[in-house]
């Protein structure tokens, strides 16, 4: 099997699963229980927090465990909006965010918040100037993703953060779900207040993630309950999941330096070879794009058909993002980039992990070539 859908989810590392299993079976206590068995669970949780925080370069008391990227984004955006509504009701985001950001914004719009959705250029990038000129006196939040999940474009997070230094009352949220481990980001240097991460994109488990909340930034919780996670996220902590995430994060970052070189080569190989196929148009920009995502459109072939055709060869790729691929709608990001609707409907995303090999890439190229030729003949009859 050639698995090229790592932006949808990754295969959990074996070591990560083992940690999860051990913690779940041997340290199943509730961290809030007063007895020493609960104490052990609490220790594990705080060690998971310390390690994860250290790895992403923040303080342990700034990291809050959640159930994943969607929850982190919802908590960040709704929490910041509701917790600061007395200061203003204007929110800024881009038009190419993940659905968990876009629909959270829509929901807030119905609650009376005003949303500015910034356009992107042909490469899918937001302009710092646009962010700057959209800021008003009542702006309380700017939410921009680090790496676009559909085409891999890297947004100018550091530059936006620097610009926001002169707007200290605006909270800056970054959805870093796709970037962690693959695209470097200095959280403090980029003046980020809130940052979402998810474990299953880095070989951890589904249902685990975290939100970084910079010291001193106030947001309202979304859940009412037992006040876990310093009152920000009630609900009995997923200790095993948190430990597994800490391990996944460590293993991913340990591999990163060496594995990135390989990933760059794979992406270049795929890009160059696929570019030679006449029916293919590459959508991922050459500059400022993450190394693990390559998006392309097929002229005259529906992406769904293409996916299933490749599947028969045991190659797994994706139509745009996994979260929206069931909707059968053209890729939102591509439409925003100005790609014609016909091409936006036939987009394919290849997303790599550190474990993919050159052999896999070469085989995939060969099969894609064959499939395009074959389907092209059938569809254009």
Partner 1 sequence: MNYDRILIRYGEISTKGRNRNKFVDKLRKSVRIALTPFPNIKIEASRDRMYVLLNGENGIEIIKKLKNIFGIQSFSPAIKVEREMESIKEASLTLVKSLYLEGQTFKVTAKRSDKTFDLNTDEINNAIGGHLLTNIAGIKVDVRNPDINLRVEVRKEAVYLSCETIKGAGGLPSESSGKAMLMLSGGIDSPVAGYMAMKRGLEIEAVHFFSPPFTSERAKEKVIDLSKKLAEMAGGSIKLHIVPFTDVQQAIREQVPENYTMTSTRRMMLRITDEIRKKQEGLAIITGESLGQVASQTLESMYAINEVTNTPILRPLISMDKTDIIKIASEIDTLEISNRPYEDCCTIFVPASPKTKPKREKVNQYESYFDFEPLIQEAVQEVETLVIKPDREPHSEFSELF
Contact status: 56 vs partner 1 (CB under 8 A):
no
Is residue 123 within 8 A of residue 287, CB to CB? The reply is yes
- Burial-class residue 146 by CB neighbours within 10 Å (0-12, 13-18, 19+): buried
Nearest residue (CB) to partner 1, 43 versus 299: 43
Which of 4, 67, 11, 2 is closest to 203 using CA atoms? 11
Contact status: 95 vs partner 1 (CB under 8 A):
no
Q: Which stretch binds partner 1 (CB under 8 A): 15-23, 120-128, 136-144, 288-296?
A: 15-23
Contact status: 49 vs partner 1 (CB under 8 A):
no
Kindly report the number of other CB atoms within 10 A of residue 83's CB atom.
Answer: 16
State the Cα–Cα distance between residues 301 and 303, nearest whole angstrom.
6
Q: Which helix (H) or strand (E) holds 316?
A: strand 315-316
Q: Which stretch binds partner 1 (CB under 8 A): 37-45, 74-82, 110-118, 184-192?
A: 37-45
Contact status: 203 vs partner 1 (CB under 8 A):
no
Contact status: 213 vs partner 1 (CB under 8 A):
no
For the four alpha carbons of 174, 178, 180 and 183, in that order, the dihedral sign comes to negative
Least distance CB 244 / partner 1 (angstroms) = 9
Nearest residue (CB) to partner 1, 199 versus 361: 199
Least distance CB 137 / partner 1 (angstroms) = 31
Q: Which stretch binds partner 1 (CB under 8 A): 31-39, 132-140, 353-361, 364-372?
A: 31-39
Least distance CB 47 / partner 1 (angstroms) = 5
Q: How far is CA 198 from the centre of its chain?
A: 7
Tokens of 84: 């600061």
Residue 323 a catalytic site member: yes
Q: Residue 311 contacts by C-beta under 8 Å, 6 or more apart in sequence? A: none
State the Cα–Cα distance between residues 75 and 232, nearest whole angstrom.
9
Which of 273, 236, 210 is closest to 51 using CA atoms? 210
Name the catalytic one among 323, 360, 363, 367. 323
For tokens 């990227």, name the residue.
Answer: 69
Nearest residue (CB) to partner 1, 54 versus 302: 54
Q: Identify residues 218-277 at the interface with partner 1 (CB under 8 A).
A: 243, 246-247, 250
DSSP strand pairing (194-198 vs 171-175) = parallel
Contact status: 34 vs partner 1 (CB under 8 A):
yes
Q: Which stretch binds partner 1 (CB under 8 A): 3-11, 43-51, 182-190, 339-347?
A: 43-51
Tokens of 338: 């100005």
Contact status: 47 vs partner 1 (CB under 8 A):
yes
Task: Please give the DSSP secondary-structure letter assigned to residue 92.
Answer: E
Of the residues 2, 8, 44, 199, which one makes contact with partner 1 according to CB under 8 A? 44
Contact status: 41 vs partner 1 (CB under 8 A):
no
Catalytic residues: 323
Binding-site ranges for partner 1 (CB under 8 A): 19, 22-23, 34, 36, 39, 42-44, 47-48, 50-51, 60-61, 243, 246-247, 250
């Amino acid at each position: 099997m050639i698995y090229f859908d790592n932006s949808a989810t990754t295969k959990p590392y074996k070591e990560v699963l083992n940690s999860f299993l051990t913690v779940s079976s041997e340290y199943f206590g509730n961290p809030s229980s007063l007895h020493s068995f609960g104490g052990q669970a609490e220790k594990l949780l705080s060690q998971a927090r310390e390690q994860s925080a250290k790895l992403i370069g923040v303080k342990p008391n700034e990291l809050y465990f959640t159930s994943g990227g969607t929850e982190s984004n919802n908590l960040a955006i709704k929490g910041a909006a509701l917790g600061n509504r007395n200061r203003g009701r204007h929110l800024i985001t881009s038009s190419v965010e993940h659905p968990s950001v876009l629909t959270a914004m829509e929901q807030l719009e119905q609650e009376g918040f005003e949303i500015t959705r910034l356009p992107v250029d042909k490469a899918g990038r937001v302009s710092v100037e646009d962010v700057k000129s959209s800021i008003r006196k009542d702006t309380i939040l700017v939410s921009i993703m680090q790496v676009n999940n559909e085409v891999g474009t890297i947004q100018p997070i550091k530059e936006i953060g620097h610009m926001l230094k002169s707007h200290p009352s605006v909270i800056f949220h970054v959805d870093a779900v796709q970037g962690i481990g693959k695209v470097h980001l200095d959280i403090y240097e980029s003046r980020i207040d809130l940052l979402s991460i998810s474990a299953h994109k880095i070989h951890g488990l589904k249902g685990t993630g975290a939100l970084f909340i910079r010291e001193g930034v106030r947001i309202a919780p979304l859940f009412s309950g037992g006040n876990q996670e310093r009152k920000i996220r009630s609900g009995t902590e997923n200790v095993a999941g948190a430990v597994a995430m800490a391990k996944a994060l460590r293993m991913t970052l340990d591999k990163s330096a060496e594995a990135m070189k390989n990933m760059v080569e794979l992406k270049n190989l795929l890009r160059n070879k696929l570019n030679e196929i006449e029916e293919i148009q590459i959508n991922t920009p050459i500059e400022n794009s993450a190394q693990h995502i390559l998006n392309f459109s097929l002229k005259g072939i529906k992406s769904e058909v293409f996916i299933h055709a490749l599947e028969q060869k045991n190659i797994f790729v994706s139509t745009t993002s996994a979260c929206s691929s069931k909707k059968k709608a053209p890729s939102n990001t591509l439409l925003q980039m100005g790609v014609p609707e016909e091409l936006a409907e036939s987009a394919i995303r290849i997303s790599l992990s550190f474990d993919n090999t050159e052999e896999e890439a070469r085989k995939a190229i060969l099969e894609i070539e064959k499939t395009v030729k074959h389907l092209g003949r059938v569809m254009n009859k």
